[in-house]
Structure 1
Amino acid sequence: MRFLDLAATSAAVSATTGRRAKVELLAGALRALDPSEVAVGSGYLAGELRQRQTGVGWASLRDLPPPAAEPTLTVTAVDAAVDGIAAVHGPGSQARRRQLLTALLGAATADEQRFLVDLFRGELRQGAQAGLLADAIARAAEVPVAAVRRALLLVGDLRAVAVAARTGGAAALAGFGLRVGRPLAPMLASSAPSVDAALAVTGVPAVVDVKLDGIRIQVHRSGDDVAVFTRSLDEITARVPEVVAAVRALPVRELVLDGEAIGLDAAGRPLPFPQTSSRAARRSPGRATVPAGPDPTDPAATDPAATDPAATDPAATDPADLAVQAATDPADPAVLTPYFFDLLHLDGDDLIDLPGRQRWTRLAEVVDGSLLVGRVEVDDPGQAGAAFAAALDAGQEGVVVKSPDAPYDAGRRGSAWVKVKPRHTLDLVVLAVEWGSGRRQGWLSNLHLGARDPRTGDFVMLGKTFKGLTDEVLRWQTERFLGLAVERGDWVVRVRPEQVVEVAFDGVLASSRYPGGVALRFARVLRYRDDKSAAEADTIDTVRALHAGRSAG
């Protein structure tokens, strides 16, 4: 397939507002791809290069060679060229990479150059989000869209799903399942302004979980191999050895857990989120070096002398006990304590389709109660309110009200889990930043905040704020946003819409100043959310619903 045809499809999708029309355009391009091109081509339509690290930076794309007069590039040829660029390493690599990049761009027409630059920069925003592409894959392959979406959630790889749908149809998609060691998109919670409103959504009886203000973790174990992933499916195993140790100590051979890792002070109360996140971020990369304890399922474990050091040395402690102690001892300033609230797989059995009550029963059978998130079953708003108050008294963020009959809906934000916090919060995207004045002279200070428009893929500005920013945060965000800058003015720096920030606010007001017709009242920064992508930011629909009094964030 000509690369120009994909570039034209991307431009057409960007210029189209209707969802159905976008899907038809994308499906047509997917059908036209040769089977050998589907993996690469579907990724390009999603705005992704197969080679995630190419070494091509922003500066390399500022001065482009003259475009080619006639199109000659194919999808396969572009992929091979990007492969060559990504493979360049060692002395002289910068010059060689630039040479290869110039050759590729020089062989591209003007339209192809624009498409390539957007792909390299990672800022292709023509509205072809994963949901649209899932629909397009289903349309192109003539398979149920539900099958595509489920496979996409379990695999987390749009290219692999597109290939399976095109080459094997529904049967190939059904072959995708939860695989230990490969993360899947976590189930998400919607929001409600109160526990009463949450219960109106989930129904009763319901389960109320304490909502920890930590790092979402998904932990996979197979034998002694343990892998820890974040909410955004990045692996952080080497950064959380205490989590690895705690999970290795469990009496199982294989499992997948969902939970949170959080820092605690000497009194066992949660530390502020920035301290928790900085602990995970500052760990050195590499392989975790936590010694493995005995495997309780191994027949050799029946011999105490072979598995328990205390059997031969009275002063020794069982490695499993040491592991749990290391994971839960807050005295070490670098320790993050894991707490788990769901079990997705256990010793060969996938549990995600089981009701929550069954998953949680099996969770309690294999994980010690000290490592479980606080949970209580309630039958009425009074009990739920008491659980909410207790969570806040303990210094926690709030609660999550859950339906005990719901399956684990990977990657979805539905009505089965509903979070309740004591304040309005939204996850928004920074669109621009203003230079500060006075004490903040020389720093980027005032943030322009935008909500995602799910229909166009663009962002709608809701207002500005410089509240809640410490000197440390100002220094960090100045460096961060200069790195994301697409236009530098004397007053305003416009940035690529990538950085998500959580803001608290007192309410939503009608506004004729901003294009969305609404603005936030007294917005203030709570924290930056590096664990969320711009595609996961809250939508303008959510903000408008808040203004109408229908729901909360």
Structure 2
Amino acid sequence: MLLDELALTADTVASTRSRLAKVDALAELLRRLEPDEIAPAVGFLVGKPRQGRVGVGWRGVAAATGEPATEAELTVDELDTVLDRLAAASGAGSSGERSRELRELIGRATTREQGFIGRVLLGEVGTGALEGVVTDAIARAADRPVDLVRRAAMLSGDLGETARLALTGAEAELAAVGLEVGRPVLPMLAATASSAAAALETTGEASVEFKLDGARIQVHRSGDDVRVFTRNLADVTHRLPEVVEVVRGLPVHDVILDGETLSLDEDGAPRPFQETMSRFGAETARESVLHPWFFDVLHVDGRDLLDEPLSTRLVELERIAPGHRIPGEVTADPDVAERVSRDALSAGQEGVVVKAIGSPYAAGRRGSSWIKVKPVLTYDLVVLACEWGSGRRTGWLSNLHLGALDPIGEFGKPGAFVMVGKTFKGLTDELLRWQTERFPQIETRRTEHTVWVEPSIVVEIAIDGVQRSSRYPGGIALRFARVKRYRDDKSAAEADTIQTLRGLLRG
């Protein structure tokens, strides 16, 4: 199949809000793929090529992008093959080799294909083809029960391979996909609530557990062989020898554990999330040690526990890893749930997760059985600039550059604004239209992608906190920023300060 057909379908899916229309378009495309094209194509559509990250960033893509081809000739298989070569490039000269491969590939691509290739490489496909939509499309194209396809994808952790099996194999082959020690599964996800008491109203009796400010891990052990995976199912065993050592010491032969790992300070309190992630991503040894904490067990010594109630899984977890259990209490009392939530925040953690005590482990699903509760912080910041959108937001000003007031001139001129992050989250179509009309009226300069504006418009932004960053002059960056509303009632001089935001840093 020509890559242009994939790119065109991605654009079509991105341009419609209708889930049914998205599924129809994707299913029609999937039916026309050759068997060997199915897994790569699905990976491209969801922004997760089977090769993972291949060592190419936006600068590399920009440098390789030139005059587009006038006629589509690239195929899905050719893009997959080039990504194999990019992923395999290593050692002296690998950077130049990647650049050459990339220039040759993008030079053969049409304008639409160039944009699509760039988004695939950067993990920013932005088609609206979320994995749930693609899963439904696979079931439609293969005429298989959607629950069967969904479970196979969850337990295999590989949507592309699930698609190949669904479209080319028998239904019994899909049904035979099960839990395997050593093969990661998609993690169970949590919904959100405003308070622990409110979450308890939904779940009934529940395990109210600390939500650690760490990195999610899934650990598989078979005998002495231990493997550690991220929430995105990347194998990071070599980076976490301390976690491997802990799990090898547990009184089991085979086990699959779900949990978190984080770095602690001298007093046993969590270090800032950024420090954990820096250590988590290090390819070489670091001084800081990551401590594993587990909140679930999916398999133990030949016994699958996915479909067992949480109460049973917690008993097993306490039996095999009592010293590495995430703190929490089982309760149906909202006052107890709120106390655990306060205890978690006092300990420097993010909040709590409230888990229905009778719930099975629904791999890859976000339902109402697990509900996370985190305090939402809101700050009034100033819009410094806005970037033009892509995909469904093409033609609209979308991604906001956000600044905090520096009244004392600690990071520049007194009364100026210090950039602290960007966001396009939370913007409705109405707000996008308003921005696109309003910002050019106060424009100070622009480039091809960005419009800078007078720092006069205040926007209320919700964040999960801040982290240290060398990207911005104030030394911090917002975490998970999203737009709540514009504040017409406030002037820029009333915006929150960079000093206030820096005060959120722990340590």
Same fold per superposition (TM over 0.5): yes
- CA change 1:446–1:171 in 2 (3 A) is same
TM-aligned CA deviation for residue 32 of structure 1: 0.7
TM-aligned CA deviation for residue 420 of structure 1: 2.9
TM-aligned CA deviation for residue 345 of structure 1: 0.8
- Give unpaired runs (5+ residues) of structure 1: 287-332, 482-498, 514-519, 529-553
Pairing 1:73-472 to 2, within 5 Å after superposition: 73-88=74-89, 93=94, 96-203=97-204, 205-282=205-282, 284=284, 334-367=288-321, 369-424=322-377, 431-433=399-401, 438-441=409-412, 445-451=419-425, 463=459
Deviations 1:100-121 (A, max 9, x none): 4444334333433333333334
TM-aligned CA deviation for residue 338 of structure 1: 2.3
TM-aligned CA deviation for residue 201 of structure 1: 0.6
- CA change 1:393–1:459 in 2 (3 A) is farther
- Does the 8 Å contact 2:49/2:120 carry over to 1? yes
Q: Distance in 1 between matches of 2:230 and 2:224?
A: 20
TM-aligned CA deviation for residue 340 of structure 1: 1.7
TM-aligned CA deviation for residue 524 of structure 1: 5.1
TM-aligned CA deviation for residue 281 of structure 1: 4.4
Identity among equivalent positions (%) equals: 41
**Paired letter, 2:255:** L
- CA change 1:136–1:377 in 2 (3 A) is same
TM-aligned CA deviation for residue 465 of structure 1: 6.5
TM-aligned CA deviation for residue 382 of structure 1: 3.0
Q: Distance in 1 between matches of 2:275 and 2:85?
A: 41
TM-aligned CA deviation for residue 169 of structure 1: 4.3
TM-aligned CA deviation for residue 415 of structure 1: 1.3
- CA change 1:479–1:253 in 2 (3 A) is farther
Q: Distance in 1 between matches of 2:239 and 2:55?
A: 25
- CA change 1:412–1:425 in 2 (3 A) is farther
Deviations 1:13-64 (A, max 9, x none): 2332322111111111100111222122222322344433445443444364
- CA change 1:448–1:36 in 2 (3 A) is closer
The answer for the alignment partner of 2:390 in structure 1 is none
- CA change 1:512–1:358 in 2 (3 A) is same
- Give unpaired runs (5+ residues) of structure 2: 380-397, 436-457, 490-494
**Paired letter, 2:470:** R
Residue aligned with 1:262, SS: strand
Deviations 1:264-295 (A, max 9, x none): 44444444444444444457169xxxxxxxxx
Deviations 1:184-243 (A, max 9, x none): 22222222222321111101x322223333332222111111122233333333333332
TM-align CA RMSD: 4.1
Q: Distance in 2 between matches of 1:30 and 1:468?
A: 38
Residue aligned with 2:137, SS: helix
- CA change 1:474–1:432 in 2 (3 A) is farther
Residue aligned with 2:207, SS: strand
Q: Distance in 2 between matches of 1:467 and 1:138?
A: 37
- CA change 1:183–1:424 in 2 (3 A) is farther
Q: Distance in 1 between matches of 2:337 and 2:421?
A: 37
- CA change 1:285–1:263 in 2 (3 A) is closer
- Does the 8 Å contact 2:462/2:481 carry over to 1? no
Residue aligned with 1:440, SS: coil
- Does the 8 Å contact 2:211/2:351 carry over to 1? yes
Q: Distance in 2 between matches of 1:480 and 1:422?
A: 23
Residue aligned with 1:255, SS: strand
- Does the 8 Å contact 2:214/2:262 carry over to 1? yes
**Paired letter, 1:336:** L
TM-aligned CA deviation for residue 469 of structure 1: 9.3
- CA change 1:403–1:33 in 2 (3 A) is same
- CA change 1:181–1:59 in 2 (3 A) is same
